[in-house]
Amino acid sequence: MDFRKFSLFTVLGSVVWCSVLSYLGVKMGQDEQLMRGELHRITIWVGGAVVVLGALYYFFVHRHMKAENESG
């Protein structure tokens, strides 16, 4: 990929990512109930989702790549 094209997509992606995170931070900071205790429950759900997605990645991508490298 061309360096300029790569740099453009990197900047555009980081702008979107930072905008979404900033928006979520502002909205979460305005919600008193979320800051009082709901955040713990949300953190547990997000952590569980990360573990499940990591396991799916391992079983469908990483394991397949490892087997492909050993055979070839």
Q: 23-43 burial by CB neighbour count: b if 16+ within 10 A, else e? A: eeeeeeeeeeeeeeeeeeeee
Summarised one tens digit per residue, pLDDT across range 36-53 is 777 788 888 999 999 999
- 28, 35 Cβ separation under 8 angstroms: yes
Q: Do 53 and 64 fall within a single domain? A: yes
Q: Residue 66 is part of which domain span?
A: 32-72
Q: Do 37 and 18 fall within a single domain? A: no
The domain tally of the chain equals 2
CA distance 17 to 22: 9
DSSP single-letter state for residue 62: I
pLDDT value, residue 15: 96
Q: Do 22 and 36 fall within a single domain? A: no
Triad 13, 19, 23: Cα angle to 5°: 150
Q: Could you list the pLDDT tens digit for every one of the 72 residues in the chain?
A: 899 999 999 999 999 999 999 998 888 788 777 677 777 888 889 999 999 999 999 888 877 777 777 766
